[in-house]
Structure 1
């Protein structure tokens, strides 16, 4: 027992600073301004074989579960692409620049969206980065899409260009109901490439619950939460 106490003290001296550093780093990233880039193209009105509920309805439910948790902690904005008078690749609409406590505004805009049009996701992410003033400060873009680029954009090339201009831009990509879609596309044109090039997360989701989890990991701060749990003793030790 006498030998165990010094060993425990040594372990705490080694690992506690690392945990504290992880909490500090992730805490900083959680305060970075972020914009959700929402795919509202025509395919979002579609359904799948297991449900008659349109994709956009599940997206609304998932965002309603996540955004109110995140909005009090960081400035959030919303950019939508797809809807417009014509099915054009220029239909990209900034609904809200990053703002504090923006959950009500964001969810209101999402509920009013009527899916239509093309998928200019590359241009939309570029516009979001500009709104975030990504060259001047750390920024986060979260792209939520149910498909791949249809307007000739090159996601990989854009990500490399943005990263070359600003090292502190992170792009997360959440693919909802896109399983297998990449098989007929040039691999380098995948939307997920933007996450890979900027150190972000590339996640897929097939259900509403999986989408909620993916949004929590990208809009929220899972690593910060994990580190916080690591720093607390288990209940049995209390």
Structure 2
């Protein structure tokens, strides 16, 4: 099935220096092993890895990228699995691919706490930075992204948070378990993180769409702000120069 795609372009909101250090916050929760929403029949994590293998080698020469993974945990509660793999570094494509192939998805989705931790390790109060949150679902650990977004915006020297939804479950709009900000039937509250910090909120379903979203949020140049059109179906088309 070919999805209807739309992109709303607003004036550019990303810092002109698109070489600012970035942190990829990657969803390693249990749902990433699922394949029922996958276009290729592969688990979502395998499709995400293919998209990154396509996009990141084109980005690593212009931007240093770090990696944080949330979900899997060796001990403790299901919401405690947040791991900083490495700080932003040059030539990060292969290290990111190796790290995301080196674990089995597990745990829940503490995405709000993960983004907050990523901001802290990047010294967001005194240094410019970009965070790209890649998630297949909503907050499930009691976090409040709609509180965190404005807080980061107020405290930051220059921080932009982009949110890429990958094969989001449409039931997330009605799923409020351990997600105090989600209201019944409304859009995934992770969008608050992007809206509050001038970032992009993009929904994707295929490997091609995810690769394009990564190139848009991490590569050069970002030409505008992508917003989901509620009158269309599931994805936002990513347009870039050239």
TM-score, L = length of structure 1 = 0.80
Q: Which has the larger radius of gyration?
A: 1
Secondary structure of 2:98's match? helix
Task: Return 5+ residue gaps in structure 1 as ranges.
Answer: 1-21, 230-238
From the superposition, tell whether residues 55 and 99 of structure 1 become closer, same or farther in structure 2 (CA, over 3 Å): same
Task: Return 5+ residue gaps in structure 2 as ranges.
Answer: 1-11, 175-181, 225-238
Q: 2:214: which partner in 1?
A: 215
Q: Does residue 43 of structure 2 align to residue 44 of structure 1?
A: no
Spell out the pairing of 1:218-233 with structure 2 (5 A cutoff): 218-223=217-222
Bigger relative contact order, structure 1 or 2 (CA pairs below 8 A, ≥6 apart): 2
TM-score, L = length of structure 2 = 0.78
Distance in 2, matches of 1:103 and 1:47, equals 24
From the superposition, tell whether residues 71 and 181 of structure 1 become closer, same or farther in structure 2 (CA, over 3 Å): farther
Distance in 2, matches of 1:43 and 1:26, equals 31
Q: Does residue 204 of structure 2 align to residue 205 of structure 1?
A: yes
Q: 2:90: which partner in 1?
A: 100
Q: Deviations over 1:20-68 (max 9, x none)?
A: xx8xx97843111100000000000001255431000000000111111
Q: 1:72 aligns with which of 39, 61, 72?
A: 61
Please, what is the CA RMSD of the aligned residues? Answer: 2.3
How far 1:224 moved relative to its partner? 6.1
Spell out the pairing of 1:1-238 with structure 2 (5 A cutoff): 28-48=16-36, 50-86=39-75, 88-184=78-174, 185-186=182-183, 187=186, 190-223=189-222
Secondary structure of 1:223's match? coil
Between Structure 1 and Structure 2, which shows a larger proportion of helix residues? 1
Aligned residues: 206
